[in-house]
Amino acid sequence: MKGTLYIVSTPIGNLEDITLRALRILGEVDVIAAEDTRHSMKLLNHHGIRKPMISYWREKEQERSDEIISRLLAGKSVALISDAGTPGIADPGSVIIKKAIQQNIQIVSVPGPSALVAALSVSGLPAEHFTYQGFLPSRHMQRKKVIEDLRFEEGTLIFYEAPHRILESLEDLAGILGERKAAVVKEITKMHEDVVRGTLSEVIGSIRDTTIAGEYVIVLQGWERTDKAITDDVLSELRTHMKKGLGRKEAVRKIAERYGLGKKELYRKSLDEGS
């Protein structure tokens, strides 16, 4: 009989932020697969848990995942944990999870702390609809391309960022998306937790005046839809796309996304104008 793989969320800072169920599972499994056994040992020692451990840090994940899967196929239960938060979400773990799925091994989620949800909850920005983007690319041009693609995303935007790139990323966001409301959360749940709220320019100014260190979550206001006029130039561009062989619906979708227009209104206007 195959064992069970438990995906266990661990604290993102404060060691008390762990569920009773997570502690029970960690104490019951045959082995704990940890991103970094030295880091995870602090958590386990704090809660008096003693279990065999195996590391699967990022450079060794492919190799170690086979060993972990072998144990599961042999009937052993395994708890998969990362240094903080949930394995597979901005952390190693996805390789093991995919291999477990391929082997029809039972996978059970043991949810817990999430930096993106915690930051969103204190941001003061709308939480009904949001887009989690993870870490922005480190290369300037790639980062700008990702931000450009999010220009007309109406939901709140959430990014993770490292301290040595936080100002660069905020400046690129301001340069491309304009003066939006933002909240930048530093070291959430930790001793030096701090939240800076305001417009992007205000946030950038505040962070420049502080000690830049630790992990950051950027929570940013989404695009606010306005009644933009459908100009003759827009309709001309639509006709050009259609002359090149693009169907009306697809052409309307591309143009609407580019200029932040309503697709239904643009489609109706194109028919009225005989585009």
For the chain, what are the domain ranges? Answer: 4-110, 115-220, 232-272
- The residue ranking higher by pLDDT, 214 or 258, is 214
The crossing angle, in degrees rounded to 10, of helices 166-177 and 200-208 is 160
Task: Return the CATH fold of 115-220.
Answer: 3.30.950
At residue 184, φ and ψ (nearest 5 deg) are -115, 120
**Average pLDDT, integer, range 105-112:** 98
266 has pLDDT over 70: yes
**CB within 8 Å of 180: residues ≥ 6 apart:** 173, 174, 199, 200, 220, 221
271 has pLDDT over 90: no
Q: What is the CATH superfamily name and number for domain 4-110?
A: Tetrapyrrole methylase, N-terminal domain (3.40.1010.10)
Residue 122: both structure tokens together: 């204190």
Residue 250 belongs to what H/E stretch? helix 248-259
Whole-prediction pTM: 0.79
Tell me the per-residue pLDDT of 3-29, one tens digit each, with 9 for 90 and over: 999 999 999 999 999 999 999 999 999
- What integer pLDDT is reported at residue 127 of this predicted model? 95
Residue 154: both structure tokens together: 């109406």
Burial (CB count <10 Å: 0-12, 13-18, 19+), residue 194: middle
User: Same CATH fold, 115-220 and 4-110?
Assistant: no
- The residue ranking higher by pLDDT, 105 or 257, is 105
42 has pLDDT over 80: yes
